[in-house]
């Protein structure tokens, strides 16, 4: 379990969500919290885009403020390209929640949006992953930070590099470099 004082320290400097261009990017990226979103089963919504926007609308009431967001990126499903295509994106957020509390909250949002866990990598209405929480690196009671496979996935690193290209991955490499070196989901491209 991570200490609350450590959480406050790692929550980082506040960034102006209304004008991200004015944010002190260099100082804020060491404390940045990133969440990846994905959908390839629109469920009750008219499209995956609508489902993802509905998920984002649930963040603030749960104590998660969006600082920056990427465009939506489309890619083939992985590992089975015969499943419906994915729509993915990444948001940088601020929250006073600990990493474990944030993961619990993200799971609650997934459940409220109708996610059914029928099997690993099965089509899903919503997939929310905590990619990074400041510079934390390691296994925190089963929560591995940064996300252990994010750096190899273009559908995560591409959107992340779009909003924070110089973000330093805790295990090495900047987001833009990692996006260029990604080996999974290499067909991912922005659609908005």
**DSSP class per residue in 87-132:** EEEEEEEEESS-HHHHHHHHHHHHHHTT----STT---S-EEEEEE
Local confidence band at 192 (pLDDT 50, 70, 90 cut-offs): low
Cβ proximity of 166 and 176 under 8 Å: yes
Query: What per-residue confidence (pLDDT) applies to 63?
Result: 97
Query: What per-residue confidence (pLDDT) applies to 30?
Result: 86
Which residue from 48, 34, 30 is spatially nearest to 191, judged by alpha carbons? Answer: 48
Residue-by-residue DSSP string for 124-158: -S-EEEEEEETT--EEETTEEES-TTGGGBHHHHH
Known catalytic residue: 124? yes
Residue 122 has pLDDT above 70, yes or no: no
Q: Which helix (H) or strand (E) holds 75?
A: strand 73-75
Query: For the chain, what is the mean pLDDT?
Result: 85
Of the listed 60, 115, 139, 141, which one is catalytic? Answer: 115
* Average confidence (pLDDT) over 100-124: 85
Q: Which helix (H) or strand (E) holds 51?
A: helix 48-57
Of the listed 41, 68, 69, 127, which one is catalytic? Answer: 127
Q: Tokens representing 144?
A: 């591995």
Local confidence band at 14 (pLDDT 50, 70, 90 cut-offs): very low
Residue 13 has pLDDT above 90, yes or no: no
Residue 16 has pLDDT above 80, yes or no: no
Cβ proximity of 66 and 53 under 8 Å: no
Residue 128 has pLDDT above 50, yes or no: yes
Local confidence band at 23 (pLDDT 50, 70, 90 cut-offs): very low
Known catalytic residue: 3? no
What gap in Å lies between CA 113 and CA 187, rounded to an integer? Answer: 27
Known catalytic residue: 189? no
Of the listed 58, 69, 74, 124, which one is catalytic? Answer: 124
The share of the chain scoring above pLDDT 70, in percent, equals 82
* Average confidence (pLDDT) over 2-20: 33
Of the listed 68, 74, 129, 153, which one is catalytic? Answer: 129
What gap in Å lies between CA 142 and CA 42, rounded to an integer? Answer: 30
The number of beta carbons lying within 10 Å of the beta carbon of residue 39 is 29
The answer to which of 18-27, 63-72, 82-91, 114-123 has the lowest mean pLDDT is 18-27
Query: What per-residue confidence (pLDDT) applies to 29?
Result: 87
Query: What per-residue confidence (pLDDT) applies to 124?
Result: 81
């Amino acid at each position: 379990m991570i200490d609350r004082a450590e959480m406050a320290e790692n929550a980082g400097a506040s960034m102006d969500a209304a004008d991200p261009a004015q944010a002190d990017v260099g100082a804020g990226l060491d404390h940045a919290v990133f969440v990846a979103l994905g959908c390839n089963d629109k469920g009750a919504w008219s499209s995956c885009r609508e489902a993802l926007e509905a998920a984002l609308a649930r963040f603030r009431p749960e104590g998660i403020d969006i600082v920056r967001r990427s465009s939506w990126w489309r890619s083939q499903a992985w590992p089975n390209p015969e499943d419906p295509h994915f729509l993915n994106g990444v948001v940088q957020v601020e929250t006073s929640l600990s990493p474990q509390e944030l993961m619990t909250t993200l799971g609650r949002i997934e459940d409220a949006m109708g996610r059914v866990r029928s099997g690993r990598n099965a089509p899903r209405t919503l997939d929310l992953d905590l990619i990074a929480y400041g510079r934390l690196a390691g296994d925190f009671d089963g929560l591995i930070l940064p996300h252990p496979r994010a750096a190899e996935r273009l559908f995560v690193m591409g959107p992340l590099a779009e909003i924070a290209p110089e973000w330093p991955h805790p295990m090495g490499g900047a987001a833009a470099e990692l996006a260029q070196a990604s080996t999974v989901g290499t067909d991912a491209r922005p659609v908005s």
